[in-house]
Chains A and B, each alone.
Chain A
Amino acid sequence: MTIKQIERLRKGAITLLMLAISILFLLPFLWMLSASFKIEADVFTYPIQWIPAKWHIIENYKEVWIGKFPFYKYYWNTVKVTVLTTVTSAFVSALAAYGFSKINFAASKYLFIIVLATYMIPHQAILVPQFILYRQIGFFDSHLGLILLSSFSVLGTFMLRQFFMGVHNEYIESAKIDGAGHWRIFWQIAFPLVRPAVATYAILRFIWTWNDYQNPLIFLRTDKLYTIQLAMQKFTTINGEFYSLIMAAAVSAILPLLIVFIIGQKSVIEGIALGGVKG
């Protein structure tokens, strides 16, 4: 055997080993998917039936989506909250990032440090005052309040600022000479140049908001305002013993993210690697 062949053989062997390990990461998801297709009596049969003996897909998903505890409502709530949070947060962050990197004003440096300093504050350390504030100003138990909570992202500002700093100042200077104000320069020159970075941030924010459990738990009270993460937990409490239905709900909650992730895979992975950001 040549050295190259040995090398290839080794690579193949390691690939096989890694495949085996990766099963450990996918198995719970496969189990979830398979359980969601089964009749309740078959969920816990052992050895595990990976391919259901009796299929019950339509009945399970119908019960979850339009049954006693209809998921379509919570889905709509989640889509609304997630999309609006993502858009607002990306916009506010981009504005601030441009202001901190491309507009030359005296207070800029200090203001940026102040904003950055708040990043160290763990969210749970301010939950109680936020809760009290929301009760006082009437934002408690509303989607608007929930959206505003995650709309002012220091992380987004920091991330996008790095990219705005990469935009050459000559573009901005020459636009200024042509008489353009900062608003036009932002929209027509700078923003299009950093669009990939904004997209990366938006996808991450989308995933985090979609998966957020803690904020809806604390800041929402009325059933009909629930997001799916909250609804899913409630669903579990109500349907305690109906694991096939619970798994159908879990699959429904994960599926949109899986799609977003597969479409934006490169952006997500790059964004995470780049900023080393964590939700």
Chain B
Amino acid sequence: MQKLETAAEAPKAKHISKRSSLQKKETIAGLLFVGPMLIGVTVLTFIPIIATFLLSLADWNFIAGFKDIKWVGFDNYERLLQDDGFMKSLKNNAYFLLTVPIYLAISMLLAILIDKHVYMKSYFKVAYFMPYISSIVAVAIVWQVLFHPSAGPVNQLLISFGIDNPPKWIADPKYALPSLMMISIWISIGFNLIVYIAGLQSIPKDLYEAADIDGANAWHKFKSITFPQLSSTSFFLLVTGIISTFKIFDLIAILTKGGPISSTSMLVWHLYDTAFVNLKIGYASSMAVILFACVMLITVLQWLGQKKWVNY
């Protein structure tokens, strides 16, 4: 009896061991394929983010070397709360959020017009997309010249319209941030427009046909079909847009360097300035943690909100 059992199990066991050796081969192959990516992400992202958290608890000047690292607990975070420069940067970030709904509205409108109501569609796609493919450095330098307080074409135009004292744009603490916001809107439209056009193309045509039969006018169709059908696209663009305002750096670095009188300093600029100009590594890391937390918070809100606000 016993003998019989083992005899019956033998081929099964052999089968299993063959299968498990196959499975082992699959696992090795799998690890080899995803290995480079895993190593890269571990070394260049995972370890650094942990290091950011650790360094945010330290007072450290990079030049001094590792031995001079001082652990100060949450002091850096307490300092942040009293740091006017940092608070000012956060406030500017908050102002910058305004750009997102503005360029979303413009992009949506342009996308609707381009999708259905114009000739030469591809020309428009390329024209509005130009700022996205051009480097921010080149674009920023052009705008810098266009906004030049005395000689720039923008102000010369305003003067020729009879405005005697046109704003000094990026050189004026009052107008510098709004100027950057304008440029940022101008840059962002292309990308959002393209995503909206894709969103529009996925709306079922029969919805509009049904509306036509019911005699709905353009505004009604927009209000009851287009806008709600685009809600998932809008939601996605809103989230990526908000996150990208937290990351703004290039425009500031090239155009204003946070000035005049820190009127255009923003979170990432302040972080960069603290870390790479003032070399306060620990303090800058605490700002990096705040940045991470902000982006994280928005991502979590996105997860929670997706179900609630997006109606298909």
Contacts and interface: CB of A to CB of B under 8 A. Distances in A.
Nearest to B274: A128
Given A31-B146, A105-B30, A126-B288, A213 B135 contact: yes
Size range of the chain B interface in the assembly:
35 or more
A108 interface: yes
Interface string B142-160: 1101101001110011001
A129 B46 CA distance: 10
A10 B122 CA distance: 19
Given A18-B124, A115-B41, A118-B46, A217 B253 contact: yes
Interface stretch (A52-60, A63-71, A271-279): A271-279
Contact of B31 (A105, A130, A276): A105
A93 B251 CA distance: 30
Contacts of B46: 118
B284 A128 contact: yes
Contacts of B246: 122
A130 B291 contact: no
A126 B136 contact: no
B138 interface: yes
Chain A interface, >50% SS class:
helix
A247 B142 contact: yes
Contacts of B276: 131, 218
A214 B250 contact: yes
Centre residue among B114, B127, B289, B292 by max chain A CB count within 10 A: B127
Contacts of A278: 191, 240, 244
A18 B249 contact: no
Chain B interface, >50% SS class:
helix
Interface in B93-130: 110, 113-114, 117-120, 122-130
A193 interface: no
A238 interface: no
A163 to B, nearest CB: 15
Given A18-B110, A217-B253, A233-B137, A121 B27 contact: no
Contacts of B285: 128-129
A24 B44 CA distance: 41
A214 B298 CA distance: 23
B113 A18 contact: yes
A272 B126 CA distance: 13
A115 B26 contact: no
A87 interface: no
B296 interface: yes
Nearest to A122: B295
Size range of the chain A interface in the assembly:
35 or more
Nearest to A106: B27
Contact of A232 (B30, B41, B137, B194): B137
B200 to A, nearest CB: 10
Contacts of B268: 124
B239 to A, nearest CB: 10
B33 interface: yes
Given A121-B292, A211-B136, A272-B191, A126 B48 contact: yes
B142 A32 contact: yes
21 contacts: A18-B124, A25-B127, A46-B153, A93-B37, A96-B38, A105-B26, A108-B34, A111-B38, A118-B49, A122-B292, A125-B288, A128-B51, A131-B276, A132-B281, A133-B43, A133-B51, A207-B133, A229-B135, A250-B137, A278-B240, A278-B244
Interface of B: 23, 26-27, 29-34, 36-38, 40-41, 43-49, 51-52, 55, 62, 110, 113-114, 117-120, 122-131, 133-139, 141-143, 145-146, 148, 151-153, 156-157, 160, 186, 189-191, 194-195, 197-198, 236-237, 240, 243-244, 246-247, 249-250, 253-254, 268, 271-272, 275-276, 281, 284-285, 288-289, 291-292, 295-296, 299
Given A48-B153, A121-B45, 6 more contacts: A12-B119, A118-B41, A118-B45, A254-B134, A258-B133, A278-B240
